[in-house]
Amino acid sequence: MPSTNSSSAATTGGTDGLHGISATSVVASDLAQIEGSHSGSPDDTKGQLILSTHTGSALTAGLTIDEAQKSTFAGNVGIGGASSADLSIESSGTADSVIRINHNNAAGDPFVKLTTNAVNWSVGLDNSDADK
């Protein structure tokens, strides 16, 4: 797909396709696409960035970054290796594997919360009670 960009780019955006040639065909196909598009009301310039890859049958959004810089992944996320779960962090070195949650404020509590239907489990620091 060739790059597209309209004269009203502030409200519509554009796309840029990354092309490839199939080993069995001379027809060019989009292997991936980077899209910048408008995501707010008609009178603003809010935008989003969408990264898509081809699944073999269609271009499919894999990552969307919205106007608030919120990133949404369409599938699993792997850090340091293949993703075997919704979020997988793997390390093969000799150092510890660390997930760090840092709360830079005197008020508020850094914690991890696990939830299923009506059951909640949390572990963290109780900063509001002098870290007892």
Q: Is the pLDDT of residue 103 over 80?
A: no
Q: Where are the alpha helices (DSSP H) in 1-132?
A: 9-12
pLDDT on residue 51: 93
Cβ count within 10 A of residue 13? 19
Confidence of residue 131 (pLDDT cuts 50, 70, 90): low
Residues contacting 106, CB < 8 A, separation 6+? 127
DSSP secondary structure letters along 13-37 = EEEEEEEEE-TT---EEEEEEEEEE
Please give the Cα distance from 63 to 82 (Å, whole number). Answer: 17
Query: Has this prediction a pTM greater than 0.95?
Result: no
Q: What is the pLDDT of residues 16-70, one digit of tens each?
A: 766 666 566 555 578 888 999 888 888 888 999 999 998 889 899 999 999 999 9
Please give the Cα distance from 97 to 87 (Å, whole number). Answer: 14
What mean pLDDT do residues 59-86 have? Answer: 87
CB 118 within 8 A of CB 112: no
